[in-house]
Amino acid sequence: MNPIEQFEQEVEGNIRRLGDDPALKGAALDWMSGVAGGKYSYNFSWLGRPIIQFPQDMVAMQELIWRVRPDLVIEAGIAHGGSLILSASMLALLDYCDAVEQGGAFDPRASRRRVLGLDIDIRAHNREAIARHPLAHKIDMLQGSSIDPAVIAEVHRRAEGYQRIMVVLDSNHTHEHVLAELEAYAPLTSRGSYCVVFDTLVEDLAPHLSADRPWGKGNNPKTAVWAYLEGLQDKPARGVDGANLRFEIDRRIEAKLQITVAPDGYLKRI
Ligand SMILES: C[S@@+](CC[C@H](N)C(=O)[O-])C[C@H]1O[C@@H](n2cnc3c(N)ncnc32)[C@H](O)[C@@H]1O
């Protein structure tokens, strides 16, 4: 075994042990419950735009985008635009790395890779700041509810012709809404790619932490993921590529992160 393989094997062992440790899981949940009240996830930015995520999940997105190499990332939930900029920056790096590998000149505007963001309310100051960002040329935005049939149809139309699509759901976190988003957009996820559902953590947190929200224990993205996966088992469906639509929860990601807002939310299309 070469040193690289040996290192990777060690890391896999670490991840397995960390993931199997109930005391650590409890400690992580205590910590996440503690910071949830303090709105910890609002503390960060990505290349200058505020992003409402945990740093651990940002690293997971970096690893996923590098591994999957999507040509389209569809994101429901824009807010200040930080997550769109994160995805766009990763797509731009993929473009750059492709150019280096192919020995050609790097033309930032030549690539097809794009991010498509959806939000029911794209505030003017956020829209302007995103439009002014150097990565704006990789971003398209649609205003409307992500479960509005006209928005869904438009997203499907724009996704036509893309080969490797990743989906990220981070908008309204009620069970009903996320389930409808999964029905609408999960079929666009390419095989080997991911549909990432954020804020599944709501199910694991104490109810008082979401008391002022329309979601809470029993009514949140995690319950929607469970219902969606159960539904696919009962009634198999096909993706837009015509192949069987099957997902598995990638628990290796939450085992490695330990701290994540998306337990059971990293769905890999298999
Ligand atoms: C948690 S924030 C998104 C955070 C962003 N993804 C990030 O990481 O920075 C949720 C966003 O979802 C939007 N939203 C709420 N209901 C929605 C709906 N029905 N359709 C689309 N977007 C919605 C809100 O306007 C808000 O901007």
String of DSSP letters for 28-74: HHHHHHHHHTTTGGGSEEETTEEE-S-HHHHHHHHHHHHHH--SEEE
- Give the C-alpha separation, 169 to 148, whole Å: 15
* Of 49-63, 80-94, 98-112, 233-247, minimum mean pLDDT range: 98-112
- Average pLDDT over the chain, rounded to an integer: 97
Pair 254, 266: CB distance under 8 Å: yes
CA angle 221, 222, 227 (to 5 degrees): 95
pLDDT at residue 104 tops 90: no
Mode of pairing for the β-strands spanning 114-119 and 44-46: unpaired
pTM of the full structure: 0.97
Pair 26, 204: CB distance under 8 Å: no
Pair 190, 269: CB distance under 8 Å: yes
pLDDT at residue 243 tops 90: yes
Helix (H) or strand (E) holding 117: strand 114-119
Residue type, 266: Y
pLDDT recorded at residue 27: 97
Q: Which of 41, 44, 119 to mutate to test the pocket of ligand 1 (most atoms within 8 A of CB)?
A: 119
pLDDT recorded at residue 106: 86
The sign of the CA dihedral 79, 85, 88, 90 is negative
Q: Which of 56, 85, 87, 121 to mutate to test the pocket of ligand 1 (most atoms within 8 A of CB)?
A: 121
CA dist 155 to 51, 81, 254, Å?
Answer: 23, 18, 29
Q: Please report which residue ranges of 103-238 form alpha helices under DSSP H.
A: 124-132, 149-159, 175-185, 221-234
**pLDDT tens across 22-51, in order?**
999 999 999 999 999 899 999 999 999 999
pLDDT recorded at residue 107: 87
Q: How confident is the model at residue 109 (pLDDT cuts 50, 70, 90)?
A: confident
pLDDT recorded at residue 155: 98
pLDDT at residue 127 tops 90: yes
Burial of 44 (0-12, 13-18, 19+ CB in 10 A): middle
Ligand 1 center from residue 171 Cα (angstroms): 3
Helix (H) or strand (E) holding 19: helix 3-19
Ligand 1 center from residue 230 Cα (angstroms): 26
pLDDT at residue 110 tops 90: no
**pLDDT tens across 155-205, in order?**
999 999 999 999 999 999 999 999 999 999 999 999 999 999 999 999 999
Mean pLDDT calculated for residue range 136-150:
98
* Of 70-84, 99-113, 114-128, 158-172, minimum mean pLDDT range: 99-113
Residue nearest to ligand 1 atom 10, measured at CA: 171
